[in-house]
A = this chain, B = another copy of it.
Amino acid sequence: MSKATYYHAGCPVCVEAERALLPLLDSTLKVEVVHLGEQSPRIAEAKAAGVRSVPALVVDGQVLHLNFGAAIGDLQ
């Protein structure tokens, strides 16, 4: 199964989307949860993956922006 990365910034929209989405995912999918507010060195990685806002789920090079919590540019 794939590996996915859930990027968020601890915002209410991020927390709500995480609560709604993550339990729906296949249990064999390994999801790494990255709080970009606390791990700012990883913002560049998220941007390189195509993340424009958080929360977002990146899997196999595809970005799913979930609702809208904050623009990635506002996290820097």
Rounded to whole angstroms, the CA-CA distance of A64 and B69 in the bound complex is 12
**Which of B4, B65, B67 contacts A24, CB < 8 Å?**
B4
Rounded to whole angstroms, the CA-CA distance of A65 and B66 in the bound complex is 5
Name the B residues within 8 Å of A66 (CB-CB). Answer: 64-66
How many A residues are at the interface, by size bracket? 20 to 34
Rounded to whole angstroms, the CA-CA distance of A53 and B21 in the bound complex is 17
Asked if B4 and A64 sit within 8 Å, CB to CB, the answer is no
Name the B residues within 8 Å of A20 (CB-CB). Answer: 59-60, 62, 64
CB closest chain-B residue, reference A66: B64
Rounded to whole angstroms, the CA-CA distance of A26 and B59 in the bound complex is 15
CB closest chain-B residue, reference A25: B24
